[in-house]
Amino acid sequence: MDQRQEVNITKALNDKREYKRLLLRNSLKVLLISDPDTDKAAAAMDVSIGAFSDPKGLEGLAHFLEHMLFYASEKYPKEDSYMQYLTEHGGRSNAFTDSEHTNFHFDVNAGYLEEALDRFAQFFICPLLSEDATSREINAVDSENNKNILVDVWRWSQLQKHLSSRDHPFHKFSTGNKDTLDVQPKARGVDVREELIKFYEGHYSSNLMHLVVYGKESIENLQNLVEEKFSAIKNTQRSRPYFPGQPCHSEHLQILVKTVPIKERHTLSILWPITPEIKNYKEGPSRYLGHLIGHEADGSLFCLLKSLGWASSLSAGETESSLEYAFFGVMIELTDAGQEHMEEIVKFIFQYLNILQKSGVAEWIFNEVQAICETKFHFQDKISPINYVMNIASNMKLYPPEDWLVASSLPSKFNPVIIQMVLDQLVPSNSRIFWASKQFEGQTNETEPWYRTAFSVENIKVELVKEWEDSQPDAKLGLPSPNVFIPTDLSLKQVEDKVKHPVLLRKSKFSRLWYKSDTMFFTPKAYIKLDFNCPESSSSPEAEILTNIFTKLLVDYLNEYAYYAEVAGLNYSIHHTGTGFQVAITGYNHKMRILLEKIFEKILNFDVKQDRFAVVKEKVLKNHLNLKFQQPYEQAFYYCSLLLEHCMWQRDEFLEVIPRIQADDLVKFAPRITSRMFFECYVAGNMTSKEAESVVQQIEDSLFNSSVPLSKPIFQSQHLERRIVRLDSGTNYYYPVEGLNEQDENSALHHYIQLEQDDTKMNVQLELFVLIAKQPAFYQLRSIEQLGYIVVLMKRNDSGIRGAQFIIQSTVKDPAQLDIRVEAFLKTFESKLHTLTDDEFKSNVNALIDMKLEKHKNLREETQFYWSEIDDGTLKFDRKEVEVAVLRKLTKEDLLNFFNNHIKLGAPGRRKMSFQVYGSSHVAEYKSAKSGEISSYESVVCNGKECALDGVDTEQLKDEKVEVVSSDKPVETTTELVGYHPKRIDDIYNFKRSQALFGSLKSGANQAYA
Ligand SMILES: [Zn+2]
């Protein structure tokens, strides 16, 4: 037991939780958090071993081990029983492997912490790491790599590593793939499972671990639990691996790297090796410098680049960091015009740094940053326990105990010498410039080995360095002004009419106001949401694009002013919605009205600035072009929405209209967007009902009631409706389509089962089915069949129309076969459902009730919940209570009937549609799927080579039989799959027109509300 002096852990003023530090006999460092109010318990274990410790030639071993620990242990040898236990009790689990640590975490309904902890502890006491599971899970690691391989952030991160010292572990590839963890080691005669065990035994020592446990129990009880469960972790007295030295030597500095991105974009990043912030976190030098270099108001670097039309975004701050090294980066998204001025842009960066050098470190700026950070820390929102423990466990090895909660979020010591020291490191001769653009296609001469990123490197010439060093600052550059948005009134409003759910406070021909006073969070924050229904805004693809540009221009015009508000913790957004546009403001309520007024001033006096129009249009076009590079499963998701939404324009249509749209079109169209409007408003948090009403009155007066009003109310017939396609009962459709990016090998399946429009009993049956089937589906389709890294079963809600969806991304099986595997899973799941004991059934029902009764943790979460009721038009603010009442009466028979009528293959009321995106590894299968020959099922291509069918027998399929794998043991058995007659859809629009629609729950201003 720890007999040392108790330290005072700094916590937020509004934090009522109790904390206690503990050191077990095996040197495991623990933080206990007792929160009697919590509905979820959670724990995180951070092990101070990461990918830097991977043995040579076994890249990704630490990450692979992280995956393997989830499988089974000596105490709980049944595979997947850990995940199964958590899911059945409303929990979830995850992990990540970083360079120097690996973090495992879970949450569970608050009453089930003890057994969950016992199971979790076995990860670190006696994992099985079976031969069989090891040989399967390597495929998931490989599929995870396939998911990342065409994603620019992964590619650039590895390129930075590639261009660093080979002797530093920073250089290595960390996630691993089949080649590094299977093929290559086997060829060398290395047994990877033995290596996993060796790695585990060599590094997973309790003295290198940090544990955080969060529960509703008292500190004493939590302490007993932790001592009982975690004392058995072996302490092999390992010393923490130490990686001294810098990843970049002189040959890796003063370089310009040109590289070809996947996406349509130009980016410029300048990186400098700096002293890690962790060494001086109370002085916060990188925070101070990032605040200034990344500022966006008048005088800032970004403001200047924006006025020249060269940049569309800029950020600055510490990037890669560890105890021994770190980088400071300035990341700029360039416009097409900016792409032509790279050297001048870099020159402006150094001019700005020269200004910081000349003006010296300013105490008032540090004080401002400190004040903002302090308010932010003390009035922080509660977050989900799983994220809370994950963050703290990661901090524990880096900070002294008193700062475990604070970490580096509270700079408190003004020390100009330390800030100056880091500023002095940001010089041209120390810089690494990474410049990405498709323009460099064909002009590069090297390829990064892991992601095959094309690049070339050149040294930056000494004359250029000299020019940058000596460059005199542009007159437009300067320090920001004092921030007027910092809140000074943080008092809580006295609210008399405290209500449990939102109330309809006010209704007029222009608007409707919903109001919810704060009864939960007691922070000086509020939320205002304004949803404008503008009938003209969605009348055509052109209209939607023009509305999109309209909202983006508003943000663009507001940016220099509103950036101060954002820095001070008052955030806003303006975006188009497909039926108009939405304005949202959230944060400290003190100065919220000032910002709101400014936003409406811009809407009232909207004008089209030619130069900004061009920049925004270019950005909108690129956004649409880049949809091509979405993950295939996201593309499948898009097709599902396209089919279900009665009114939704297609991306090809947008791509056709954007290039032709001119500034003049918006000059003519903007007045039409706002000519007739109706807005729905939601106000919540630290605001009285009087204030909420005055917000709406003020907006109405400015938009509708002036002498020459901008807007009129919309006609009765124009009121918003949102309708969803109702699939035919008893049908089984599929829509095959090629992936948009012909380089992407991944295929994807989105298997959608439609249910009803917000029917309480059916909703809870659906949720119960998803809860019970989620983990078995994951275990069967991912852990056993290894179809791919992404395997998910979840519920879906389209404007109140509920459904279930299976999502799988794969290179090993084509989407038609994935679809069959889902059907086969449902078949085996049927028997599992039948054998479910009454106790198991009850336990699942109780888990779902607990999840439903979970309190909102912060204003954002609460707003999301109520807003979706308003936005869908369902308006069941007491949904949780009503659904819990129905759940309490639900029987196992009810669930079986639901499954038999709606979910299982051949069910009479089943309405199923599968969206099948074919990647480049399944080109031949796509052709057959399109031509409608069942021959698409006759062969399967595994990783590029033709191979025998595993799992699906062609002959059996012709007789509507497929192999089905039992969900209990990883053994294959055969079951009949009767009634698998999918009908192909070739044209989404023809199909949509042939189907009925659900009624719209959204309706006009005269909608009756109970
Ligand atoms: Zn992983």
pLDDT tens digits along 786-810: 999 999 999 999 999 999 999 999 9
CB 711 within 8 A of CB 570: no
Query: What totals of helices (H) and strands (E) does the chain contain, helices first?
Result: 33, 32
Structure confidence at residue 934 as a pLDDT band (50, 70, 90): very low
What is the CA(142)–ligand 1 centre distance, in A? 9
- If we measure between CA atoms, which residue out of 529, 537, 513, 514 comes closest to residue 720? 537
pLDDT in tens, 603-631: 999 999 999 999 999 999 999 999 999 99
Confidence (pLDDT) at 647: 87
**Residue at a domain's end among 718, 737, 765:** 718
What is the CA(141)–ligand 1 centre distance, in A? 6
What is the CA(63)–ligand 1 centre distance, in A? 6
- Residue 513, number of CB atoms within 10 A of its CB: 24
CA–chain centroid gap for 586, Å, is 20
Number of folded domains in the chain? 4
CA contacts within 13 A on the Cβ side of 808: 35
pLDDT in tens, 696-710: 999 999 999 999 999
Inside any domain, residue 968: no
Does pLDDT of 936 surpass 90?
no
Inside any domain, residue 491: no
What is the CA(780)–ligand 1 centre distance, in A? 18
CB 683 within 8 A of CB 671: no
CB 72 within 8 A of CB 81: yes
What is the CA(268)–ligand 1 centre distance, in A? 29
Question: In this structure, what are the phi and psi dihedrals at residue 540, rounded to the nearest 5 degrees?
Answer: -160, 165
Structure confidence at residue 2 as a pLDDT band (50, 70, 90): very low
Q: How far is CA 973 from CA 81, 634, 796, 863, 962, in A?
A: 21, 32, 31, 48, 10
The vertex-642 CA angle with 638 and 647, nearest 5°, equals 140
- Cα separation, 367 vs 375, in Å, equals 12
Question: In this structure, what are the phi and psi dihedrals at residue 75, rounded to the nearest 5 degrees?
Answer: -75, -35
How much is the average pLDDT of 96-116? 97
Q: Which alpha helices (H) appear in 46-91, and where do they start and end?
A: 61-68, 81-88
Give me 1000's structure tokens: 């719209």
CA contacts within 13 A on the Cβ side of 776: 22
Q: Where are the beta strands (DSSP E) in 51-131?
A: 92-97, 102-109
How much is the average pLDDT of 552-569? 97
Structure confidence at residue 1007 as a pLDDT band (50, 70, 90): low
The percentage of residues in the chain with a pLDDT greater than 90, rounded to a whole number, is 89
- Cα separation, 969 vs 972, in Å, equals 8
What is the CA(100)–ligand 1 centre distance, in A? 15
Inside any domain, residue 919: yes
Same structural domain, 264 and 358:
yes
Same structural domain, 226 and 289:
no
- Cα separation, 430 vs 272, in Å, equals 6
Structure confidence at residue 415 as a pLDDT band (50, 70, 90): very high
Catalytic pick among 88, 137, 448, 785: 137
Structure confidence at residue 1008 as a pLDDT band (50, 70, 90): very low
Confidence (pLDDT) at 976: 58
What angle do helix axes 285-293 and 342-359 make, rounded to 10 degrees? 130
137 is catalytic: yes
Does pLDDT of 427 surpass 70?
yes
Strand 911-918 to 731-738 pairing: parallel
- If we measure between CA atoms, which residue out of 640, 620, 634, 619 comes closest to residue 741? 634
- Cα separation, 636 vs 747, in Å, equals 9
Structure confidence at residue 897 as a pLDDT band (50, 70, 90): very high
Same structural domain, 194 and 177:
yes
Amino acid at 950: D
What is the CA(616)–ligand 1 centre distance, in A? 37
Q: Which residues, in sequence order, are CB contacts of 778 under 8 Å at separation 6+?
A: 83, 791, 792, 793
What is the CA(175)–ligand 1 centre distance, in A? 7
pLDDT in tens, 898-915: 999 999 998 999 999 999
Inside any domain, residue 143: yes
What is the CA(173)–ligand 1 centre distance, in A? 14
Give me 442's structure tokens: 């064909």
CB 769 within 8 A of CB 804: yes
Most confident range (mean pLDDT) of 496-505, 509-518, 930-939 is 509-518
Confidence (pLDDT) at 183: 97
Same structural domain, 311 and 265:
yes
Give me 882's structure tokens: 């009503």
- Cα separation, 520 vs 526, in Å, equals 12
- Cα separation, 307 vs 615, in Å, equals 10
Sheet holding 911-918, edge to edge: 790-798, 801-810, 747-757, 911-918, 731-738, 983-984
Average per-residue pLDDT for the chain: 93
**Residue at a domain's end among 178, 202, 230:** 230
**Residue at a domain's end among 161, 196, 230:** 230
What angle do helix axes 923-931 and 815-835 make, rounded to 10 degrees? 80
Same structural domain, 281 and 299:
yes
What is the CA(105)–ligand 1 centre distance, in A? 14
Same structural domain, 640 and 690:
yes
CB 611 within 8 A of CB 886: no
- Cα separation, 903 vs 823, in Å, equals 10
What is the CA(267)–ligand 1 centre distance, in A? 28
- Cα separation, 350 vs 368, in Å, equals 24
pLDDT in tens, 150-186: 999 999 999 999 999 999 999 999 999 999 999 999 9
- Cα separation, 154 vs 584, in Å, equals 32
For residue 119, the SS3 value is helix
Does pLDDT of 436 surpass 60?
yes
Same structural domain, 436 and 535:
no
What is the CA(134)–ligand 1 centre distance, in A? 14
In SS3 terms, 31-59 reads as EEEECCCCCEEEEEEEECCCHHHCCCCCC
Inside any domain, residue 56: yes
Inside any domain, residue 237: no
The percentage of residues in the chain with a pLDDT greater than 70, rounded to a whole number, is 94
Same structural domain, 167 and 219:
yes
What's the alpha-carbon Rg for the chain, to the nearest Å? 29
For residue 908, the SS3 value is coil
Same structural domain, 702 and 681:
yes
Please tell me the least confidently modeled range out of 61-75, 587-601, 720-734, 954-968.
954-968
CA–chain centroid gap for 728, Å, is 34
- Residue 944, number of CB atoms within 10 A of its CB: 10
CB 393 within 8 A of CB 407: no
Inside any domain, residue 762: yes
What is the CA(451)–ligand 1 centre distance, in A? 17
Inside any domain, residue 242: no
For residue 570, the SS3 value is strand
What is the CA(786)–ligand 1 centre distance, in A? 14
Maximum separation of any 2 CA atoms in the chain, in Å: 85
Give me 172's structure tokens: 């290595």
Question: Which residues constitute the domain of residue 703?
Answer: 503-718
Same structural domain, 464 and 593:
no
Same structural domain, 23 and 126:
yes
CB 642 within 8 A of CB 650: yes
Strand 209-215 to 40-47 pairing: antiparallel
What is the CA(875)–ligand 1 centre distance, in A? 40
Same structural domain, 707 and 755:
no
- Cα separation, 163 vs 395, in Å, equals 29
- Cα separation, 622 vs 616, in Å, equals 10
Q: How far is CA 837 from CA 826, 834, 840, 842, in A?
A: 19, 8, 5, 9
Which CATH number characterizes residue 119's domain?
A: 3.30.830.10
- Residue 413, number of CB atoms within 10 A of its CB: 12
How much is the average pLDDT of 645-651? 92
Catalytic pick among 59, 66, 756, 883: 66
217 is catalytic: no
Confidence (pLDDT) at 944: 31
- Cα separation, 623 vs 370, in Å, equals 36
